[in-house]
Amino acid sequence: MRQILLAGNWKMHKTLAEVKAYFEVFLKGLEKIDLSGKEIMIAPPFTALAYSRKLTEGSPVKLGAQNACWEEKGAFTGEISPMMLKELGIEYVILGHSERRHIFGETDELVAKRVEGVFRLGLTPILCVGETLAERQNQKTLEVVKRQVEIGLKGIKELSQRDLVIAYEPVWAIGTGITATPEQAEEVHSFIRDSLLRLYGEEIANKIRILYGGSVTPENIASLINQPNIDGVLVGGASLDPEKFLKICSVTL
Ligand code: PGA
The alpha carbon of 75 and the centre of ligand 1 are apart by a number of angstroms equal to 32
Q: Which atom of ligand 1 approaches the CA of 235 most closely? A: 3
Pocket test for ligand 1, best of 12, 102, 128, 169 (most atoms within 8 A of CB): 169
Q: What percent of the chain has pLDDT over 70?
A: 100
Q: What is the pLDDT of residues 18-73, one digit of tens each?
A: 999 999 999 999 999 999 999 999 999 999 999 999 999 999 999 999 999 999 99
> What span, in angstroms and rounded, lies between the C-alpha atoms of 124 and 94?
9
Verify whether ligand 1 is closer than 6 Å to residue 43 (CB atom).
Answer: no
Residue 235: which of 111, 131, 128, 77 has the closest Cα?
128
Q: Tell me the helix, strand and coil percentages in the chain, rounded to 5.
A: 45, 15, 40
pLDDT bracket for residue 161 (50, 70, 90)? confident
Pocket test for ligand 1, best of 166, 234, 241, 247 (most atoms within 8 A of CB): 234
Report the catalytic residues: 97, 169
Q: What is the pLDDT of residues 207-231, one digit of tens each?
A: 999 999 999 999 999 999 999 999 9
- Which of 102-111, 158-167, 169-178 shows the lowest per-residue confidence on average (mean pLDDT)? 158-167
Total domain count for the chain? 1
Verify whether ligand 1 is closer than 6 Å to residue 174 (CB atom).
Answer: yes
pLDDT bracket for residue 162 (50, 70, 90)? confident
Q: What is the pLDDT of residues 96-119, one digit of tens each?
A: 999 999 999 999 999 999 999 999
What range does the domain containing 186 cover?
Answer: 4-249
Residue 248's pLDDT is what? Answer: 98
Q: What is the mean pLDDT of residues 128-143?
A: 97
Q: Which atom of ligand 1 approaches the CA of 237 most closely? A: 4
**Residue nearest to ligand 1 atom 2, measured at CA:** 236
Task: Return the CATH number at 54.
Answer: 3.20.20.70
